Amino acid sequence: MAIRQKASANGIQMDTTNNAARFTPDGLQPYAAVVFLSTTGDVLAPQQQSAFERYIRSGRGFVGIHAATDSEYDWPWYNGLVGAYFNDHPAIQQATVRVVDKAHPATAVLPDAWTRTDEWYNFRNLHPGLKVLANLDESTYTGGNMGANHPIAWYHTYDGGRAFYTAGGHTAESFAEPLFMQHVMGGITYAVGN
């Protein structure tokens, strides 16, 4: 609901569904981008996966939020699109995010050191072509296991389309944080494109 309201305020029309049957060529055609908001597990059947691949190849966009990396482990193409797979996480706690690229709309408004509370993911199978926007500073919390290179938000072009991912957004409170919502909307703006 918060994303939908923010999108509307930014002139972006959005609707929502939990119905994977809409992932057909005709069902996807009206949309400039698709958002996976904390999807988990195997969410699309093979024919729906094929339709989504064709959709991205046509130049459309994708946004993954939080558990979107905890989805579709048996679909290598999706691993490339979302950029990584979830590995594990410690307890919810405060940590500092270090913004490394402020030229992107998802990070332009963020402070260089952004301290917030969330569920912080460790990743595996990181895609080599990611353009990292922000790293998690593992010295500021307990449970990180990726070291100095711990991407937490990124974007890239992939198979003809655009993809943005942020690992934030586990807590309901995240969607009441103005900076987090600006971060997400910047990612959606990128994914929508022109």
Tell me, what's the pLDDT at 14?
Answer: 85
The β-bridge partners of 84 are none
When divided into structural domains, the chain yields a total of: 1
Both tokens assigned to 45 = 């059947």
Cβ neighbour number for residue 150 with a 10 Å cutoff? 22
Could you tell me where the DSSP H helices lie in the chain?
Answer: 2-9, 25-28, 46-57, 76-82, 178-192
* CATH number for the domain harbouring residue 70: 3.40.50.880
In tens, the pLDDT along 109-155 reads 999 999 999 999 999 999 999 999 999 999 999 999 999 999 999 99
The answer to whether the CB of 43 falls within 8 A of the CB of 20 is yes
pTM, to two decimals: 0.95
Q: Name the amino acid, one letter, at 149.
A: N
Biggest CA–CA distance in the chain, Å, is 48
- Burial of 75-98, coded b for 16+ CB within 10 Å and e otherwise, reads beebbbbbbbbbeebeeeeebbbb
In tens, the pLDDT along 55-68 reads 999 999 999 999 99
- Burial of 40-60, coded b for 16+ CB within 10 Å and e otherwise, reads eeebbeeebbebbbebbeeeb
Domain that holds residue 137: 2-192
10 pLDDT band, cuts 50/70/90, is confident
